[in-house]
Structure 1
């Protein structure tokens, strides 16, 4: 059981990966490249900044002085110390006013601090010493607190680089992340927009290819002005369509020519059979030749249906088409032991080719004659709306095979005893699709099959 399900699981996973479009894949790769760029740039800056000890020392003094100045501005009393004794051996803080008088002093480790009598023009000063893995950093910063200038002196003694971590994070935030991330995101968005615009011709070509149909195989994809690779791809597709058009045309011509050439010999053969004496063999020959004649006629119908293009001014009255066809086929139905009843809800105008609609309806009636019980009635109903329905009282068509019976060379009984070659409903479906309509199959009310030709209504423009 497991081994049998594994290939299905692999195919499902493959389809899931394949459903991701080229735009999605390129966008994800651009996002990964952008993230890698930001990470590499951050790592380089951190490495360079970690080795720049003078700058780290100056930034550390600046950060501590700003913290104390903010505390004083809030009027919260003595600034708290936030030493990490595992990395900072001692710290000292002193605050002077504009008269060089101490307003605050914190120096439990008796570290050297700036003395009174410093220049009032001083704004920033930093000194640094390092020996045996230990460092001593001191400095003074000028700030304004409640409208009055103050000078804040800081001294720190410790070891390692951890005391400088706040300074490193500040540098990373202000000089790496803030400028790099918005710029990277802007560049990423720009690249995604460019990629989307560059892929637009491919999406347009995909829509044009999806709209192709055997009846429109002469249509070509529009070649964009750029990019060159897309032009080359669409040009190759157009050349492939041209070769396909030639192959389809040759096949259609062969089918039509072969069917046309066979009609005359079959008609002569039927006349010759009719001159034979009545016998079981003659009846069998007549039946076989009739089946061959019908197959040849269906081959002609296929050739016409595949090449069918509905003109814009094509008009058909379903009531008129069905009424004339029922009248023509009435003798055939009677000869086969059936009767045809015609019902109409009135004229129904549709956009379509009357001759092709007549061929589609003829195939439905012939199927009903072939499968309906002898001496039963076949009903042909026009309307309500743009539809023609053929009811019979045969075995019906099971719902499970209603889609299959509309494919070529599929027979209901799936054996040689089934009449016909399985082309009738396939021809009808092709004709309906060319008209923009559809073929509907349902169960008849009294048993049997109910098959309908459904066409789009004729659009009429009202006078202004």
Structure 2
């Protein structure tokens, strides 16, 4: 199953966001590790326990020291089961709790001679086991010696500090993610602007326009090889199209001589139905060869059109094909609103296009009735016959190459397609229009305003 194509822009955005999140997570882990290794977390714990004890110290009724069961003290005792401390004031009142390590028992005897100190194996990462400090409380200034037994409380506190650190970092991550989602698409869009221009140029490529290349400037380096490959393919297509056009022109030139010989020999035949059919076929070959040359020539000089009088051009076609139509059993009729109706174009190719429509009427008009050529001031020329007409569901297909209404139809099915190409090069169109009887084809031109 073919996978759905992914947006390059959002692929870059998602990967940048993931990379930033990973980098911030790594930074958090390194920071917590650094704080742990330097003893900062333990110091923070001890400072916190001193604050809790200081907030809980009060005087009892006899003036001695006592501890209020504050919520912070209750929590400290539950989180640090090995908590111990000794509190004294300047009047030698003393308050103690917990199992004092034997190592620090001698310190209690000289506590009044110490001021502030940190006790323990400080060489092992700088984490003290106990601390001595004078603090100010509601009971006055007191001297506190406190510490812990075991590491459980320290690990819990480390987790608590880490959680607090993460609670600060998470909003930062969210803010950076939001900023990335907003800013990155804009940055990526600007980085891919050159590719967008190449895409816009590609959408304007037409099969009959050669020499078109996609712009390579400002295209990302990673996509440059693809654009260059497309440009190379376009150059190969241009070269192939040029060879194809050259072949058609050469073939049309080569056909002119045998067609002229054929016309001369057919004209020397005695009158009869066979001669009439051969004359029609020879005329069709002459027109087809001429149209191939006209298309090749127009494709190169479509910007050098001159004024063409549609009335005079149509009269000439009727004059040339009148004898052929009469011999096939038709009457010919010519109608024009004015004596001159001008359009811009190439007269030779337009004459061939109209000739092809008249020959099409001769072939498919049923060999009876009238073939009418009509020139309208609105800028169109019609060729109508009184045959069986063209079914509505086939009116678009008849202009496709190699398409014929009936399998045994005459010709190669290229005539109407060539008429369509000539009209397209002139900025007009050819189409089947409604008629009371038979078929009616109209060449429409864009009239000057």
TM-score higher than 0.5: yes
What is the correspondence of 1:415-426 to structure 2 with a 5 Å cutoff?
415=407, 417-426=408-417
Partner of 2:205: 211
Tell me the equivalent position of 2:91: none
1:27/1:231 Cα in 2 relative to 1: closer, same or farther (>3 Å)? closer
- 1:423 and 1:447 map into 2 onto residues whose CA distance is 25
CA distance in 2, matches of 1:130, 1:340: 122
Match of 2:109 in 1: none
CA distance in 1, matches of 2:343, 2:140: 102
Q: 2:137 aligns with which of 115, 126, 135?
A: 115
Instruction: Show the counterpart of 2:12.
Output: 30
| 1:255–1:330 Cα change, 3 Å | same
- Asked whether the 8 Å contact 1:315–1:351 carries over to 2, the reply is yes
Match of 1:447 among 407, 432, 437: 437
Residue number in structure 2 paired with 1:335: 327
User: 1:76 aligns to what?
Assistant: none
Structure 2: distance between partners of 1:312 and 1:393:
38
1:428 CA displacement: 0.6
SS where residue 422 of structure 1 aligns?
Answer: coil
CA gap of 1:39–1:450, structure 2 versus 1, over 3 A, is farther
TM-score of the pair, normalised by structure 2: 0.66
* Distance of 1:128 and 1:402 partners within structure 2: 101
Distance 1:451 1:292, change over 3 A: same
Cα deviation for residue 412 of structure 1 reads 1.2
- Contact kept? 2:202, 2:214, Cα under 8 Å: no
List per-residue Cα deviations over 1:432-455 (Å, max 9, x = no partner).
Answer: 11112222223x331322222122
Q: Distance in 1 between matches of 2:42 and 2:179?
A: 26
Distance 1:440 1:92 in 2: 102
Distance 1:294-1:109 versus aligned 2 partners, 3 A rule? closer
Q: Within 5 A, what are the aligned runs for 1:112-261?
A: 115-116=137-138, 131=150, 133-134=152-153, 167-168=164-165, 170-178=167-175, 180-181=176-177, 184-185=180-181, 188-207=184-203, 210-214=204-208, 216-217=209-210, 219-221=211-213, 224-225=216-217, 227=219, 240-261=233-254
Deviation for aligned residue 1:406: 1.3
Judging changes above 3 Å, is the alpha-carbon distance between structure 1 residues 239 and 27 closer, same or farther for their aligned structure 2 residues? Answer: closer
Partner residue, 2:307? 315
- What are the ranges of 5 or more consecutive residues in structure 1 without an aligned counterpart? 1-9, 66-89, 95-104, 120-126, 137-158, 460-464
Larger radius of gyration: 2
- Is the CA contact (8 Å cut-off) linking 2:280 and 2:324 kept in structure 1? no
Partner of 1:145: none
* 2:348 is aligned with 1:366: no
Flag the 1:109–1:390 CA change in 2: closer, same or farther, 3 A. same
